[in-house]
Structure 1
């Protein structure tokens, strides 16, 4: 039985001036990210997604990169996984997102969230943001998100100046450039069942990573499958006017040559890991997959969350270079996906 499964890569965009790294500088990380997206499109992959981390030797400013990838490609989805909305001013976010989406021809898929553990203490304060009275930083992120979603929907809210520099259309003004349809291509990176339901109520697609809050003690893929079910059940209670998408991320490596085996044989976690994400949150971290293609296919058949999702994002070791990462993607697309019936 064939199943439509959108398959893309997710790059953290690491760079490190170490002799073994193929990605020595921030410029390397950015330019190689563009090249990998081009290579992925040529291989037939469906998406090029990039992680966003501030104050780290990783990709930090998403929209110039997304616009550049959109200009160099023609078919592949271009996205993030995820932008930390604690750091994002909604109006500037909406303008930048609209411009990048128009450059790509409407291929942007923006994953956003309340963020992950940080490199610095309360880094969003350095960007000029503070939670309102009674808010947590997570509340602030959701407030920023709700405002950004209204702006992305094209809401007209600004009073025209009586003597404008340029003629205005009638009525209140919206932010420009406006990209119609982008509002339906926003994803929320949910770490719990509750935030997955909030994403459904708010009308965002669901993006679930390789970790989530441990809410039952069950294996990661089962908890994640239940999170997906909770999202879809909540979505069905609302009339958003479109069908949502659901993505999950995985570290999956098909060992097809000696270099693959040297890099990944015996590496990574072959079982879930449970631990404290911060002082208050116990989390479950999903396992990695690295094996010969035939064995990999059998292991992936058992992953209930992958089966439930329509989109699979493959995390890639970007500091091993564009050529090697293209090989990693090609092995999954040609050796694994067809055997699982993914079309």
Structure 2
């Protein structure tokens, strides 16, 4: 069995060819798609966070709205760039959204990815400490966030408070029980996956990672997942971990599917993520259901994961994306034993 959800990057563009031409369109359509996915029986509605781009950015109002409109589906991010985040304020936002959703948040966080602007986190008021990198800063913000989510008191109460205080040191409020165990780390390397395991975070691995061995993407990603699980076991955490991978997967079941995705190239791509990092980008899958099933059966990383996030083309609109999700749930997932 495997949990299956969707992942939306929330793109919009003022183009006649797009069904999402503004931020209003993307936000409202994201809510509608989550509601429809829940009705189909999908397990998760996840959203990407990018700053300085025509994409979804501030996740918590959207997560709270989806939580209020649904009752069962997991609601998450993949991922929030922690270089931009105030961990204290984020705890309040995340806990509030989780309580609205009845404890269904699955928050993916990370040290960040290539950006639209140079050092965008500086515009948010952050910069690395002396001798540290922006990646170090993102991980440090994450560590503070995780500590605060434990709900332990740390702040000295005022002797003349506006309202009566409970005894002892005060914690941030509201507090959402169990959210700490539903934090995921978006990892692009074996080393950061092992670090995430030691920190007690679930693992999110996308279609992009450091090219560490020159092997096919899914083989490297499967190795990353196995290294993560081994590190989790060594750390001795009390609860079992979860692992998600994301994929662009399209079952070609009608002429519209074939027109949109029938000509997609089915190969990994290798390139430079920045001046020093060689990265490998995983292939997309688009084929008739019987062919697609056999292709996915050979994907080692999907087999290693317990959660699959389907990257959806949100600019094609809610109706078409419901069709994309339904086609996977109907024609593909049962044949692979995922449902």
From 86, 100, 112, give the equivalent of 1:89.
Answer: 86
Q: What pairs with 1:271-310 in structure 2 (closer than 5 Å)?
A: 271-310=267-306
Counterpart Cα distance in 2 of 1:211 and 1:218: 13
Counterpart Cα distance in 1 of 2:81 and 2:306: 24
Aligned to 1:151: 148
Unaligned runs of 5+ in 1: none
Aligned to 1:142: 139
Q: What pairs with 1:152-167 in structure 2 (closer than 5 Å)?
A: 152-167=149-164
- TM value normalised by structure 2: 0.99
Aligned to 1:197: 194
How many pairs does the alignment contain?
339
From 39, 52, 56, give the equivalent of 1:55.
Answer: 52
Counterpart Cα distance in 2 of 1:195 and 1:211: 14
3-state SS of paired residue (2:234): coil
Deviation per residue, 1:79-120 (Å, 9 max, x gap): 000000000000011110000000000000000001110000
Aligned to 1:72: 69
3-state SS of paired residue (1:45): coil
3-state SS of paired residue (1:52): coil
Indicate whether 1:17 and 2:14 are aligned: yes
Counterpart Cα distance in 1 of 2:44 and 2:70: 11
Indicate whether 1:98 and 2:114 are aligned: no
The Cα RMSD (Å) is 0.5
From 245, 249, 267, give the equivalent of 2:246.
Answer: 249
Aligned to 2:338: 342
Indicate whether 1:173 and 2:170 are aligned: yes
Counterpart Cα distance in 2 of 1:152 and 1:59: 24
Counterpart Cα distance in 2 of 1:126 and 1:177: 28
Deviation per residue, 1:319-339 (Å, 9 max, x gap): 000000000000000000001
- TM value normalised by structure 1: 0.98
How far is the alpha carbon of 1:241 from its aligned partner?
1.6
How far is the alpha carbon of 1:153 from its aligned partner?
1.0
How far is the alpha carbon of 1:155 from its aligned partner?
2.0
Aligned to 1:39: 36
Deviation per residue, 1:40-89 (Å, 9 max, x gap): 00000000000000000000000000000000000000000000000000
